[in-house]
A and B are shown apart, each in its own frame.
Chain A
Amino acid sequence: MPDDRSPVEARGLVKRYGEITAVDHVDLTVEPGDVYGFLGPNGAGKTTTLRIMLGLIHSDEGEVRLFGRDPQHDLPKALEGVAGFVETPHFYPYLSGRKNLELLAAFDRNGHGGRIDGLLELVQLEGRAGDRVGGYSQGMKQRLGVAASLLRHPRLLLLDEPTNGLDPGGMRDMRILITRLSGEGITVVLSSHLLAEVEELCNRVGIIRAGRIAYEGTLAELRASAGANRYRLRTTDPARARRVLSALSRVRNVRPDGEELLFEAGEDDVADVSRALVGAGLGLTALIPEQASLETFFFELTEAAERSEEAA
């Protein structure tokens, strides 16, 4: 039966370690079917937030609900339909990959042990399933971690840096797997500091910095919220072109980038830009609208917060 309760709803989460506030009034909402990118620099509070969600640590304030249940007070029930790992998944090194999964299936108490072969195949570990995990590479452990999570038949998957330690091929396979799982209706929360990964996989993002949420919403909204469109301009005389653009009132942030100029302007104002340049006797060789990358927004959001803190 479909569950219309939010897979994740966190309100006012706070976690302090002595004088350090690792998570500072975090609000998050993950909707069913989302592939939610949880972004932030190292030490921003991503993993601590995930740990609170999984009931591994206790929050000092606020509450979190997974499909309406509170993992802080209602374990293990609150983790029904929830799986994932924080930081690198770890297993018993003296047991084989298969035995580790058998142990976890037993701990799940749901009789899904019969899925182990299929999952080992899915993560391409069927050939090494009988080997001790102590001999596995980082990437193999990562894949075993995904298999261990899927063993629970999750509706919500919390993955902390799932491509960490993987080679480029492994990263590609992991991304394909996440896309596939999302296609099967699993809601995914993907914590990452790899912006390209989040941009490729996620429909919604939460950006956290110094324990605080700097942005939450869709990628499209994020781009729209950035305001003016950005353009890249190539002319026959960059120095004169810069003077022309700077004289136009509705053109902002004109700055050189090698032989080119970058500027921001509304879509309607770009026609004025081209007319002004031609009027000044300049030849236009390229006028290209630039879509700002998630990376640009990320640094704007995180560094803006840093600047405002410094100013305060």
Chain B
Amino acid sequence: MTGTLIAYRWELRKLVSQKRTYIGLGAAVLLPVVFVTVMALQTGGPYDAPLGHNLRKTGLALGLVLLTFVSHFGAQLAAALVAGDIVATEHSGKTLKMILTRSLRRGQILGGKSLAAFTYVIATILALGLTGLIAGSIAWGFNPLTNLSGVRLSALHALWLSAAALGVFCLPLIAVAAFAILLSTWTRNSAAAIVGTLVYALGQEAIGGLVHQNWARHYLLSDQFDGWHGVLMSPVDWTLILRAVWVSAVFILVPLVIAYEIFRNRDVADD
């Protein structure tokens, strides 16, 4: 097993043993249940949200509709809570000097941490999607879905496309986690990294709202949270999807490379 995989495996174990891990995951599991309950107790709903017209008709829509809601703040907060802490906690707990004097390279340790944070992001979105599917299907049934182009898709086909849409949604969220890792490495302070990441994510949204040129907005991270729409169009909008892939990739790689340089060269003293 490579050093990065060893570090990754143990980072996952550490995440499983920490309470903060379950805040985001718990919220991801609870949100669809709360949403369905509120919908059941009142008439109407967010029908103008992307795929919102499918609510009350099929459970397949719930997880996807919720993506729009969490893309503004909640998902970033969940990502920041874990990724912003993942390096900084080693400084505050003074455990970094313990693991750095073993046989793994610093890059492998940071690689393992990054992969674990990204896995957590994926697990959170997966938990949201799965709970949404289960809660929505119980409430409204496992029925065909009308996609964003107005084409009716069979339930099974829509299920596969929903999984792909969740995958595309994860990419910009992983980029947010990458920035949180950078701040966590640079500041060595969990709170600063978490708050800084939220400011970063909200700042991108604010800039997106201010910029009127579409071409410029397309290259902001905030815009990539809509990349999954391309999966649920007929025909599939590959431009939207591929842009989400490469723009997110840039926003993932740049912070990680900077974090690596900081982590590799940093003096580890109890300051």
Contact = CB atoms under 8 A, between A and B. Distances in A.
A88 B95 CA distance: 10
B231 to A, nearest CB: 38
Interface string B87-120: 0000001110111111111100000000000000
B93 A83 contact: no
Contact of B101 (A56, A94, A109, A110): A56
A107 B267 contact: no
B72 interface: no
Interface in A77-125: 79-80, 82-95, 99, 103-104, 106-110
A75 B3 CA distance: 13
B109 to A, nearest CB: 8
Interface stretch (B10-18, B60-68, B175-183): B10-18
Contacts of B216: none
Contact of B267 (A57, A86, A92, A109): A57
Contacts of A90: 93-95, 97-98
B97 A56 contact: yes
B268 A107 contact: no
B104 A109 contact: yes
Given A90-B98, A107-B99, A109-B6, A76 B267 contact: no
Contacts of B93: 90, 92-93
A104 B267 contact: no
A310 to B, nearest CB: 29
Given A58-B265, A79-B101, A107 B6 contact: yes
B48 interface: no
Interface residues of A, number: 35
Given A56-B267, A107-B10, A109-B3, A92 B101 contact: no
Contacts of B152: none
A26 interface: no
Of B13, B98, B100, most buried by chain A (CB within 10 Å of CB) is B98
The winner among B13, B14, B100, B103 for most chain A CB atoms within 10 A is B103
B269 interface: yes
A65 interface: no
B interface, how many residues as a size bin?
20 to 34
A55 B100 contact: yes
Contacts of B270: 87
Contacts of A76: 102-105
A211 B93 CA distance: 27
Contacts of B36: none
Given A106-B9, A109-B3, A56 B102 contact: no
A101 to B, nearest CB: 11
Given A56-B267, A57-B267, A57-B269, A108 B18 contact: no
Nearest to B268: A56
Is the contact region of chain A dominated by helix, strand, or loop, or is it mixed?
loop
A107 B17 contact: no
B270 to A, nearest CB: 6
A95 B97 CA distance: 17
B75 interface: no
A108 B102 contact: yes
A106 B98 contact: no
A148 B98 CA distance: 9
A75 B267 contact: no
From A87, A108, A109, residue with most partner B Cβ within 10 Å: A109
Contacts of A82: 101
Given A48-B269, A56-B101, A87-B94, 17 more contacts: A54-B101, A55-B100, A56-B268, A57-B267, A75-B105, A76-B103, A82-B101, A85-B98, A85-B101, A89-B98, A90-B97, A90-B98, A92-B17, A92-B93, A95-B17, A104-B102, A107-B102
- 6 tightest A-B CB contacts, nearest first: A107-B102, A57-B267, A90-B94, A56-B268, A76-B103, A94-B17
28 contacts: A51-B97, A51-B269, A54-B100, A55-B100, A56-B100, A56-B101, A57-B269, A79-B103, A82-B101, A87-B94, A87-B270, A90-B93, A90-B95, A90-B98, A91-B95, A91-B98, A94-B18, A104-B98, A104-B102, A106-B6, A106-B9, A107-B6, A107-B102, A109-B3, A109-B6, A109-B103, A109-B104, A152-B102
Interface of A: 48, 51, 54-58, 75-76, 79-80, 82-95, 99, 103-104, 106-110, 148, 152
